[in-house]
Amino acid sequence: MVRSTPTFTAERLAALQKSYNEAGQDHVFKFFGDLDDEEAAVLFEQLDGIQVERCNEFFDRTVRNPTAVEGGDKIAPLESGSFASTLDGSASADDIAAWNDEGMRLIRANKVAVILLAGGQGTRLGSSEPKGCYDIGLPSGKSLFEIQAERIRRLQQIAAAEDGIAATIPWLVMTSGPTSVATQKKFADSNYFGLNSDDVFFFNQGVLPCFDLDGKFMLEQPGKLAVAPDGNGGIYEALRLSGALDWLHERGVEHIHSYCVDNCLVRVADPTFIGYAALRGAECGALVVPKKAWNEPVGVICLRNERYSVVEYSEITEETAKQKRADTEQLAYNAGNICNHYYSLDFLRTRVPDIEAKLEHHIAKKKIKHVDLDSGSVTEPTKPNGIKLERFVFDVFPYVERMAILEVHRQDQFSPLKNAPGSGVDCPETSRSDLIAQCIRFAEAAGATLETLPEGREPSFEISALVSYAGEGLESLNGKTLAADQLINSLDDVVTV
């Protein structure tokens, strides 16, 4: 329904137009007089929420006058002793147990929270829903959201079993404009996957205007500014502005685990990682996995100008990517970044606000649908015609004083969902296969065997995260031969052959 009167005053409109005029962006009002009251109100509210001068500053600093590093960037691999590894006995079993014990102690004390980066849609997967709603084809049919929620529930159960006192791991979910409503509806319709709704906090990442190549804001429609998410690095400002950091502080949280929704193997609130970082007194931490090959298209954590940084695969030469450590045959640049991070709450509350002002944006040239200002018609470009600015979550790394990097097995903790079904790499089929393979390893480590299937047929075997978080508690499977096609929701209902 069209409103009969606008929701803004003439004075507010004049002031807003003046600020855009002074910033050289007043063209966004070109079609304002042609809009009906409802359309005008929507555009007004959108433009009023943009800090126009700040956005201009971002474009100037990133595109027109990027900061040049004197002498250029100097890239170096991580030194062998600068991080710990759970691979091949590099860390002792006693060390790993101590890290896990510390993490569980913090969870029992209600000092740990989790942040989920869930702003992505399932478009590449052929789904219009948020990516977290996607079913990768497990026997249970569970979505990524449900798998991860049940890992939180299982950890809370393990922690409570120690002393009989309930433990709570708050779950903060960062959504985007396109995923916010659908994500919250999924949680509500699913009764928060068995979690207490009071322990779940939703917040939205920010957006920035899309720029043309000359730095002018673009209109998606005559009554709508073209905007894009400000990248997963927008998490820091979004946490602060949403009140999430204050919410965590009031609950007594001190340690945070952050991860991306598209990893079906993520150990949510990973006690080993949290304990490792906490015992090192770290401000920030990162899990890494060894690269599959020198040319795997993944960013690596290394040193840039003697500070921790993530260097994208496209930023280093083939010669550099192939370098090996002098003492081993391992790649020198081998610490694959999997967007799995630790933060102290103190770091996010006290240091990051000052760091944010120093962070640079990254340029993404895109084909952006826009309104032609001369004709008023919507144009679909055939080549990149605009710029989206974004920050990455790891952009804070160079400013971290105490960093904790832990290398883990890829097969245990990383299986990303990026590509369409049938693509063969980082797709639903590989995610399903990797999680089922992990469940089989859990059972075999407990002393069970899986029935032999005809050659070429894969098992459909799943152990619910509510039964086992990381292979613990499966002693009753010892000596049993398990049916290859089953979902284990309870150790009392295991199918044997």
Q: What is the pLDDT of residue 465?
A: 98
Whether 231 shows a pLDDT value over 70: the answer reads yes
The DSSP result for 152-184, as a single string, is HHHHHHHHHHHHS------EEEEE-TTTHHHHH
Structure-block tokens of residue 490 = 């309870």
Per-residue pLDDT tens digits for 5-27: 457 899 999 999 999 999 999 99
Q: What's the mean pLDDT in 135-158?
A: 98
Q: How confident is the model at residue 68 (pLDDT cuts 50, 70, 90)?
A: low
Adjacent-strand bridge partners of 113: 256
End-to-end CA distance of the chain: 64
Which residue from 394, 367, 353, 389 is spatially nearest to 57, judged by alpha carbons? 389
Q: Is the pLDDT of residue 73 over 90?
A: no
Mean pLDDT, range 162-179, rounded to an integer:
93
Give CA–CA dist 110/170, Å, rounded.
9
Largest CA distance in the chain: 79
For residues 305, 308, 310, 311, the Cα torsion angle rounded to the nearest 10 degrees is 20
Please state, in angstroms and as integers, the Cα–Cα distance from residue 375 to each residue in 30, 34, 220, 370, 372, following that order.
11, 14, 14, 11, 6
Tell me the pLDDT tens digit for each residue of 432-461: 999 999 999 999 999 999 999 999 899 999
CA distance 187 to 365: 35
Q: Can you give the pTM of this predicted structure?
A: 0.92
Q: What mean pLDDT comes out for the span 294-323?
A: 92
Residue 325 has a pLDDT of: 86
Q: State the pLDDT at residue 4.
A: 39
Report yes or no: 80 and 302 within 8 Å, Cβ to Cβ. no
Q: 167, 173, 161, 344: which is closest to 242 by C-alpha?
A: 173
* Structure confidence at residue 357 (pLDDT): 86
Tokens coding 361:
């944006």
Which of 70-84, 128-142, 365-379 has the least mean pLDDT? 70-84
Instruction: Report the run of H or E that residue 454 belongs to, with start and end.
Output: none
- Of residues 327 and 325, which shows the higher confidence score? 325
What is the average pLDDT across 365-388? 94
If you average pLDDT over residues 265-294, what whole number do you get?
97
Q: To which residue do tokens 């026997």 refer? A: 139
Residue 65 in this model has a pLDDT that exceeds 60? yes
Average pLDDT estimate for 65-90 = 80
Q: Is the pLDDT of residue 95 over 90?
A: yes
Most confident of 60-69, 79-88, 136-145: 136-145
Mean pLDDT of all residues in 467-477:
98
How sure is the predictor about 67, in pLDDT bands with cuts at 50, 70 and 90? confident
Average pLDDT of every residue of the chain: 94
Q: What is the pLDDT of residue 209?
A: 96
**Percent with pLDDT over 70 in the chain:** 98
Give the pLDDT score at 1: 26
Question: What is the predicted pLDDT for the residue at 6?
Answer: 53
Is residue 123 scored above 50 in pLDDT?
Answer: yes
pLDDT of the residue at 3: 33
pLDDT at 252 over 60: yes
Residue 2: its pLDDT value, please?
33
Q: What percent of the chain has pLDDT over 90?
A: 87
Output the six-digit token pair for 223.
């009554």
**pLDDT band, very low/low/confident/very high, at 82 (cuts 50, 70, 90):** confident
Q: Which of 81-95, 112-126, 130-144, 150-164 has the weakest average pLDDT?
A: 81-95
Dihedral, 104, 105, 110, 116 alpha carbons, nearest 10: -30
188 vs 328: which has the higher pLDDT: 188
CB within 8 Å of 230: residues ≥ 6 apart: 205, 206, 207, 208, 237, 389, 390, 391
